[in-house]
Structure 1
Amino acid sequence: MTAFATVIAQARDLLRWRSPLRTELWAARLTADLEPDEVEAFLRRLVEDGSTEARLTLAALSAVNASAEVRPPTGEDASLSAGEGAGSAVGGGVGRRPVDHDGSRSVGGGADGGVVARAAQGVMETLPGWVRRMGRVTCDGAWYGKADRFGEQTLAALSFRYENGKEPHLLVVAIDQVSGGLAVDAVVEEVKFLDDLDLRAEEPGVVAGRVLDAFELGDRIMGALVAETLPSVRPVALSRAHAVPDLVRPAPDDTTSRFQELPELPGAQEAFEKLAEFVGDRPLWWSPARVTQFLTSWLPREAILSEAGIAAMPEVVRAWSRFAGGHAEVLAQVEADAPRLPALMGDDSLAGLGKRIAQAQRDR
């Protein structure tokens, strides 16, 4: 059986199952499997075939790739349109998959999602009513938190249901903090999957914004290493995140503002401001290695602190470590590194260029 015949056979099964969610997930996997140079020929063959199965495939591909701006059709693109005008599409396009340095496939960009939308114009109205529910979802809740002990990855979760209330489902995206906050994996599961995750409820618009920020960052990093399963879920993840109202972009993390355990010591506030600057927009990531980086490398290189700030820093870092989970390994690393801090801060040879310039300006 040819690849096209296989797609048509699978679409025939989906018409019997009448499941918008199953059909969207199938279309997302199909999106991931298409090579960039195969997209237009594949869409053209679907249009020319014209069967119910081919039209369902076009509708499903359009639904899960509905998040990128549509450019005006030109040349061969125009011939793919099944009707007049250009349909709306938002999102990552079909076949977008750069190659990692080791030769494996990653997530990225290729064909324009608008090409799919134009090819699918008019087909939705020719299909059973359940097909029109694809992509038409309501977000019921959102959660965010650590994926592992030290927060080296975080999880962003969003729950959805279709407009008829059926097929509730949960999107979970893993966001790697060590690599800067890019999306590295995603799954669509039953909502009860949330019971196994230790996440905190947050505003849906903020969590959806973090999901979109994470995918956008991954698109900007050539050769970003991600899970092999991510490309086949990516289109649905983007579609769902875009469906959440009141998106916040870029999405902040309020972890540092929730920290209420600052020691009552001279210089403690000054010390915490430097700690907050260091953790930045990835405050849930706090590991022994990050403790060492902060106390023995970043502070001597970047930070100008008063004597009181230097003296208060170990207690501030201990308090933050307890707030971040109180893990024994982290607290032990603080005890190992903190005694070296005064000497390191006093070693002008460790100061970076920015710190040296700031010190020279301050001393004028």
Structure 2
Amino acid sequence: MSTSAFTTAITQAHDLLRWHSPLRTELWAARLTASLEQDQVAAFLRELAEDGGTEARLTLVALAAVNPSPSPGDEAPSAEADESGVYTRAAEGLVDTLSPWASRMGRVTCEGAWYGKADPYGEQTLAVLSFRYENGKEPHILVVGIDQPNGGLAVDAVVEEPKFLDDLGLDAADPGVVGGRILDAIELGDRIMGAAVAVTLTEVRPLAIARARTVPGVVRGAGDDTASRFDDLPDLPGAREAFEKLVEFIGDRPLWWSPSRVSQFLTSWLPREAILSDEAIAAMPEVVRAWSHFSGDQPAVLRQIDEDAPRLPALMADDSPAGLAKRIAQSRRRL
């Protein structure tokens, strides 16, 4: 007796055969993948193979397209690689038994990439890749939302028409770097138990991974060079020293610059972690203001600086908030 998942898949595949759309079919296969529990996959694939009909073969080929076996150079968890291999093996030799349009699934060319803030404070960034199939049809973009306060994990993803990009206001970026950021963000989310993510991410995730892996020269663990493009450092004694501490604080998430992050930097992180000269302490408010202008010139951020900056000299003079690393460094300097 057929399972409910099998019956539903066959019905939906029958409709997809009329559309002749690789993209529509891949999106469906990604949602289908997300709906299957890991312990259901083998039985589901076996049922499709035993049926052998056109709809079943299309389902197997589509699942393999959005769950490709990683290439030898891909960094993928072994469990994920094993699962992808199951889909690939189940579809072996089947694509040639289907209409030519089905063979285009997964065979795309990356045409561009963009990256930038999703909101005024950069608490979420957007990584975007654009693709087109080998025959030039069905251009589309993959958009992945990456959370910054929680370490850079993927929290949402959508596949849209290219015109969707027009309203995002993102800067062009290196496709290999953006593809790597997408893979890094998804992998991080997989490692965090209970991470709050949108339902759309779960449904698009298999296709997002497959698309990112098709990008030539993917760079994993790439840094963000935003800070290196900042060239408006105030002409003040200690400004360079102050900016170096700011760069240390923002780390690999420089686009995230909100009132709460400014306050954390001035009132908590600096007193706890930083050893600064008197000149750098005096220059810090102007350095932070200059960085804030560069980072979007948000009024609420500038107001937060005005509120917190006057307290900085007193906070830096008080050793009680100092963390262990700062205390050790201070004791060594006194020797």
Establish whether TM, by shorter chain, passes 0.5: yes
Q: Which residue of 2 aligns with 1:103?
A: none
Choose from 2, 12, 15 the match for 1:13.
Answer: 15
Does the alignment pair 1:131 with 2:102? yes
2:204 corresponds to which of 228, 233, 244: 233
Where in structure 2 are the equivalents of 1:313-352 lying within 5 Å? 313-352=284-323
- One-letter code of the match for 2:41? V
After TM superposition, where is structure 1 displaced by more than 6 Å over at least 4 residues in a row?
88-93
| Per-residue Cα deviation, 1:166-197 (whole angstroms, up to 9, x for no partner) | 10001000000011100000000000000111
Superimposed CA distance per residue, residues 238-276 of structure 1 (whole angstroms, 9 cap, x where no aligned partner): 111111101111122111011111001111010000000
The answer to whether the 8 A contact 2:13-2:59 is kept is yes
The answer for the alignment partner of 2:43 in structure 1 is 41
Distance 1:55 1:230, change over 3 A: same
CA distance in 2, matches of 1:130, 1:69: 24
CA shift for structure 1 position 68? 4.0
Q: Distance in 2 between matches of 1:164 and 1:48?
A: 32
Greater helix content: 2
The alpha carbon displacement at 1:126 in A equals 1.5
Mark the CA change 1:89 to 1:208 in structure 2 (over 3 Å): closer, same or farther.
closer
- Aligned mate of 2:64, from 62, 70, 85: 62
Would you say the 8 A contact 2:69–2:81 is kept in 1? no
CA distance in 1, matches of 2:126, 2:4: 39
Q: Which amino acid aligns with 1:349?
A: S
| Distance in 1 of aligned mates of 2:25 and 2:132 | 15
Percent of pairs with identical residues: 70
User: What SS is found at the alignment partner of 1:145?
Assistant: strand
Change over 3 Å in CA distance of 1:191–1:92 after alignment to 2: farther
Match of 2:135 in 1: 164
Of 136, 153, 172, the match for 1:182: 153
Counterpart among 221, 231, 244 of residue 273 in structure 1: 244
Q: Which range moved further: 248-257 or 260-269?
A: 248-257
Alignment match, 2:215? 244
Alignment match, 2:167: 196
Following the alignment from structure 2 to structure 1, what is the Cα–Cα distance between the partners of residues 75 and 331? 50
Residue in 2 that maps onto 1:104 = none
Q: Aligned-pair RMSD on alpha carbons?
A: 1.9
Q: Deviations over 1:196-237 (max 9, x none)?
A: 111001111111111111011111111111001111100111
Residue from 212, 224, 231 that aligns with 1:253: 224
CA separation of 1:246/1:111 partners in 2, compared to 1, >3 Å: closer, same or farther?
closer
Give me the whole-angstrom Cα distance separating, in 2, the residues matched to 1:54 and 1:346.
Answer: 71
Residue 3 (structure 1) shift: 3.1
Change (3 A) 1:91 1:352: closer
Supply the AA of the counterpart residue of 1:26. Answer: W
The residue identity in structure 1 corresponding to 2:166 is D
Distance 1:90 1:19 in 2: 30
Kindly provide the CA deviation profile for residues 328-360 of structure 1, in whole angstroms up to 9, marking residues without a partner as x.
100000010001111111111110001111111
Q: Aligned partners of 1:272 and 1:237: how far apart in 2?
A: 37
Q: Distance in 1 between matches of 2:183 and 2:81?
A: 18
Unaligned runs of 5+ in 1: 71-87, 97-108
Q: TM-score, normalised by structure 2?
A: 0.95
Does structure 2 retain, via aligned residues, the 8 Å contact 1:153–1:285? Answer: yes
Q: Distance in 1 between matches of 2:74 and 2:319?
A: 55
Superposition TM-score, scaled by structure 1 size: 0.88
Q: Distance in 1 between matches of 2:204 and 2:254?
A: 27
Matching residue of 1:82: none
Query: What SS is found at the alignment partner of 1:223?
Result: coil
Find the aligned partners of 2:4 and 2:305 in 1 and give their Cα distance: 61
Offset of 1:2 from its aligned partner? 3.5
Matched with 1:295 is 266
Out of 29, 33, 45, the position equivalent to 1:27 is 29
- What secondary structure does 1:55 align onto? helix
Partner Cα distance (2:276, 2:146) in 1: 33
Q: Cα offset for 1:57?
A: 0.5
Aligned partners of 1:226, 1:240: CA distance in 2, in Å? 20
What is the CA–CA distance in structure 2 between the aligned matches of 1:299 and 1:155, rounded to whole Å? Answer: 29
- Which secondary structure state, in structure 1, belongs to the residue aligned with residue 138 of structure 2? coil
Maintained 8 Å contact 2:58/2:98: yes
